[in-house]
Amino acid sequence: MRIGFFGSGAFGLPSLASLAGTHEIKFVVSQPDRPAGRKRQLRETPISAYAMEQGLSLLRPEVLDEAIIQEIRGYPVDAWIVIAYGLKLPPQLLQGRFACNLHGSLLPRWRGAAPIQRCLMAGDSMTGVSVITLASIMDAGEVLATSQTPVDAMETAGELHDRLSELGPGALQETLAAMESGNLEPRTQDSDQVTQAPKLSRADATVDFQLPAPLVRGHIHGLTPWPGCDVKVGETSLRLRRVRDLPEPHQSPAGTLLDSGHVACGDDGSGTVEILEVQPAGGRPMSWTDWLRGHPVDTGTRFFST
């Protein structure tokens, strides 16, 4: 089939590579180069970089104005694939075209910008990807295919992002095969089951140790690697990156470092988290054990979110 691809983030890379190996990619549309890093040098999106490496026709418009709309619609294609593009496609662009989107959740759960992070923060045991039609309401289109996977309690949002991205190619290839054979069976989302996944910001880089230990763990992992989960350990700022939740009873206030070396969670004394990986301010990630060698912490010290 002849494919047009809209994407910017790394989440779409496995799918684009898969499609390029089995179909004809007529064009790729991505976000323009943006300043990045400490030196604020212009950097292309992961999708742009791949398209240039592969010699694919690449468009990087600042806005989808009438001129670019007409240019895109001039390409002879059978389907448009949209993955983490970053701009909403206007109705005049979509008119009369088959277009579908790959989303990082099992819709209708977690519509919005941060489905992978919110899934972990809520303590979900299952997640996956959905291929949906495009609709006027974000992520509200009909479901064309899904692929699901259990959530690993020890994985971070960054790790789950990469794992879910590898589920995309199968779901998209299934959708295109069904379309080509005339066997697509769109499923309307149940509006009563919708949950929202709003975009995260630096203000979200905190954790409440009064939550049950599994949710403390999910919150920390869901915020890793960005925006991070920052705490104060005494007077020292520290970013928590990975923990393990334990059903360890205690009688201490939430956030207290116990004799066991674990941190008290919940307001009912029913659980703790074992800190495994941290990142000091301005430093690199390291194990909690290594950090303690240079920063001893007394039993009874309280952890507070900054």
Q: How far is CA 36 from the centre of its chain?
A: 19
pLDDT in tens, 92-136: 999 999 999 999 999 999 999 999 999 999 999 999 999 999 999
Q: Scanning the structure block, which residue is given the tokens 């990807």?
A: 129
Q: Smallest Cα–Cα separation from 140: which of 188, 85, 90?
A: 188
Count CA atoms closer than 13 A to 98's CA, side-chain side. 17
Q: Any idea what DSSP says for residue 93? A: H
Per-residue tokens: 12: 């779409």
Q: Tell me which of 3.40.50.1820, 3.40.50.170, 3.30.70.20, 3.40.50.11900 is the CATH number of domain 2-193.
A: 3.40.50.170
Sequence spans of domains, the chain: 2-193, 202-305
Burial class (CB in 10 A: 0-12, 13-18, 19+), 182: exposed
Residue 234 pLDDT greater than 90, yes or no: no
CA distance 59 to 39: 25
The two most distant CA atoms of the chain are separated, in Å, by 68
The mean predicted confidence, pLDDT, of the chain is 96
pLDDT in tens, 236-280: 999 999 999 999 999 999 999 999 999 999 989 989 999 999 999
Q: How far is CA 299 from the centre of its chain?
A: 36
**Domain 202-305, CATH homologous superfamily name and number:** Formyl transferase, C-terminal domain (3.10.25.10)
- CA 244 to each of CA 12, 103, 159, 224, 238: distance values in angstroms, whole numbers, following the listed order: 30, 28, 16, 14, 17
Residue 199 pLDDT greater than 80, yes or no: yes
